Structure formats: structure tokens, C-alpha cells
Amino acid sequence: MNLSLALATAALLSAEPSSTLPAGHPVIPPGTQASPARPGAAMPEGHPPTEGVAPSINPEQLPPGHPPMSGTGRAPPSADELLRQLDSTEGLADREKTFEIAASLGRLYYVNGRNTEALTYLQQALSRARPTRELFLAQRKKLGKAAMPTAEAAGCGFTVNMPVEEMGAVAQTRAQKGDAAGAAACSRAALAPVLDVAVMQANAHYLSNDSAKALAAYDAVLEVEPRHEDALYSRAALLFETKGDDVAALKEAGAGFEALVAAHPDSYRASMAKRMAGLVEETVRAGGRKKLVASRAEDRRIRLSQAPTAAAPDAPRPLSQDMVDAVKNTERTPELEQGLAKLVEEGEALLAKGNYQEALANYTRVVPFQPENGRAKAGMAWALVGLERPMAARVWGVAVQSDPLSVEKLGDTLKAKGDEKGAKALWAKLAADAPEYPNKASLQEKLGK
């Protein structure tokens, strides 16, 4: 991954939504905490009134899945406010914490792009869960080829929001009684939230440019759950991206993509994994990425030598080191904002012409400065999809989850600029990947369904 794309991807993924709203909940724009997307937007059936001062609400009035209310009538603190409070808490990193508290702190820092701090707390959470992990691996080994029952069948008795360490204690008791099957089932169920934290840790290592630790973290997840979708895809993509000339590693990447398709054929990642598996196979046959690129260049040279001379296409505009430094140092002046807006407009025009690489070069100059810019996120995601990059599914998922309306509007822009085929392909993908999108009826109308 080149520097500009790495900067843009890190900025974009740090804003990745971390929770799912109840069915029918209005879209929440990035950067807000609980406000509807527009004034007067319809609330789901059973939602408490929101006019005026917040009333005292009986918890039974809230719709299913609604987060608990404090009862104070005040809005919860923003992420920035929480982070300022945490940063000012002396000795917080050294305090003893439960798995749940450490994991929550790690997630908060992770989704706000503070990967160094996130890794500290995520590791603390995983350390609290290590005894349960070791218990599971030992009990599963005792089972051998015998089938492991579900937690329900094993009668683990777990309740919603039961702490990981309490569930681990239940599994430990089963093991002490010689019930290997029950101990394995209960400890595996206890590890479900732990695996999510472990994947987050791997992602944070990747975003911190430590591919070796990221691979080790993905491996740790797959040791417990070989079918884990996030870990399968991310590990395979990372191997392909960082070890393109290591044929053995490429074969591992191909096996990972194929395993994902076999285990999760209905996943939105399955089609991309199939394409990636084919690209990996082609790269292996060539003997590595450098040899593949050289082979393609030679093929192109031969074709060009046999064709009439034509003007070379415009090359993508490179991201200078000054622009990289400006991410941290440049004042956000009106002139800068106008320049970024122009880059987005040019990127959309390039997308409409199918010039995905050139469009991506524009967006990677915008997203580091404006990671919450919905138009830039949508354009960058569509460019990556068009280029079939390993990170395309992930970045597309972020754009769709955080600002699906901007994704839909990108289709309108493509159509207006003459790319009706591209617009319909984008809308169809949005409809397939965001089944709960509130404007889905509009999409269906645009698709002629």
C-alpha cells in the first residue's frame, strides 16, 4: 500500500461504525452522537418523544435494541469529550481492569484513530481472557475428532452481557469435573467477544504499519476459530499485499480467500474473495508480483510495438511529501477547503470515465484531511472497487455504513456525467450490501425494479 493510500485508509477506517442501531433507526451522520439525520425525520414505532426538554422515560417504552438512557435529560458525552477525560486520568493505563472495561477503552481509542493507546487497552483485555483461551485450546485437543456441542446443548447457562471471566469460570468448573466437551463448548462461547477484540487488535497493528504483529494476531484468532470471516479475509489480503514475491505466502493467501468463500458463500466479501483468489493464482503462476508486473509490462510493450503510435494517457498526480506533512501541519484555510472540494469534483468526473486509478489519486489527497467527507469516502470506495484492490470490500463497507446517502448520490453524479452503467452498478451494490438502507425504495426505483 503506497503512503497516500495508507494515510487515506487509516483516516477512513478510524471512523468505521462500531455498533448497530435498532431496525428503523434514522441514519446518524458521522461525528454526531444521537441526532437524526435531518430535523423532523420519522422515528421508529415506539420511540419516545424528542421535542423540547428530554422527558423522563420508562425503559419499557424504548424500542428493542435501544441503548440505555441515563435519565438525566442530557446528551451523552461526545467521543472527544470522553477521550479528553480519559487522557487526563492519571495512571489509567496501569490500573487493573475487567475484560469488558479494557475492551471498551481499546475500542474507543481505535475508532478514533488512536491506535497506540488502543493497542495498550486491547492487549490488557486479551490478557484477561488468556486463561479462557488456553482452557479452550486444551479441552478441544482432548476432544480430538469428537464433535463439540453448542453452549446451549452443553447447558452452560450463560446470560446476556455475562462477563467473559465469569463465563470462563463456568468452563473451568466443567474441566475440573472431567467434562471436556462441556468445558470446550462453554469456553468457546465465552471467547466470542474476545475474538472480536483480537481482530480489532490485528487491524490496529496493520494501521500502525506493523504487518508482522497483525499477521500474528489474525493467526491467533484463526487458531480458535478457523472459519472466522474477518480474520480469514484480512489475513489473506495482508499476505497478498505485503508478501507479493513470496510464493509460499501467496499460496497461503489464496487458501485463505478460498476458505472464506467455502465457509461464508453468502457474505458480501465472497465475490471479492473469489476475484482475489484468481489474482493470487495468476501471481503464483508468474512466480511473484514483480515477475507478474514485468510479464504484463512486456506484453504491453509488444502490443504497443505492433499498434499505431498513440499519445500516452495522463499519469496519476503523485502525492508529494509536502502534502503528507501538511496532514499534520497545514491550517485549514478557505483556500485549502476549496482545493479539496475541487479534487473531489475532479475525482467524480474521472470515475464517470472509468479512470479509477486517477480518481483514487485525487481521493487519497482529500481523505487524510477530511476523513468524514461522505463524497470523498464514497468516491474512494468506488475507485477501489473498480480497481479490485484487496482493501476495497473493507473501505466500501465503511462508506456504506457511515454515509450510505453519499454513496447513493455518487451514483446520481455518475449518471449525470454520462456513466449510467456505472451508476446502476453502484446502486445495485449499495442495495445488496445495505439491506436496511432507509432510502432503498429510491434505489429500487432508480434500478427500474
Give the model's pLDDT for residue 53: 43
Res. 324: pLDDT tops 80? no
Res. 35: pLDDT tops 80? no
Provide the mean pLDDT of the chain. 83
159-197: per-residue pLDDT in tens?
A: 988 999 999 999 999 999 999 999 999 999 999 999 999
Give the model's pLDDT for residue 309: 46
Q: Long-range contacts: 103-111, Cβ < 8 Å, 24+? A: 103/193, 103/197, 106/197, 106/200, 106/201, 107/18, 107/197, 107/200, 108/79, 108/82, 108/83, 109/83, 110/14, 110/200, 110/203, 110/204, 111/14, 111/15, 111/16, 111/18, 111/79
Continuous H helices in 144-268: 151-154, 164-176, 180-190, 192-207, 211-224, 229-242, 247-263
Average pLDDT over residues 395-423: 91
333 vs 31, residue with greater confidence: 333
Res. 40: pLDDT tops 60? no
Give the model's pLDDT for residue 18: 46
* pLDDT band at 124; cut points 50, 70, 90: very high
Average pLDDT over residues 256-280: 94
DSSP string of 308-336, one letter each residue:
---PPPPPPPPPPHHHHHHHHH----HHH
6 vs 138, residue with greater confidence: 138
76-112: per-residue pLDDT in tens?
A: 778 788 888 898 999 999 999 999 999 999 999 998 8
361 vs 305, residue with greater confidence: 361
C-alpha distance from residue 433 to each of 198, 266, 437 (Å): 25, 11, 9
Res. 151: pLDDT tops 60? yes
Give the model's pLDDT for residue 319: 46
DSSP string of 145-162, one letter each residue:
TSPPPPHHHHT----TT-
Give the model's pLDDT for residue 364: 87
Average pLDDT over residues 262-275: 94
Res. 399: pLDDT tops 80? yes
Res. 126: pLDDT tops 90? yes
Give the model's pLDDT for residue 29: 46
180 vs 25, residue with greater confidence: 180
Residue percentage of the chain with pLDDT more than 90? 55
* pLDDT band at 434; cut points 50, 70, 90: confident
C-alpha distance from residue 80 to each of 112, 303, 338 (Å): 9, 56, 26
Give the model's pLDDT for residue 66: 61
Res. 4: pLDDT tops 80? no
Res. 16: pLDDT tops 70? no
Give the model's pLDDT for residue 188: 96
Average pLDDT over residues 259-271: 94
Average pLDDT over residues 325-342: 74
Res. 368: pLDDT tops 90? no
Give the model's pLDDT for residue 21: 54
Give the model's pLDDT for residue 316: 38
Give the model's pLDDT for residue 19: 46
189-230: per-residue pLDDT in tens?
A: 999 999 999 999 999 999 999 999 999 999 999 999 999 999
213 vs 302, residue with greater confidence: 213
Three cell numbers at 419? Answer: 456513466
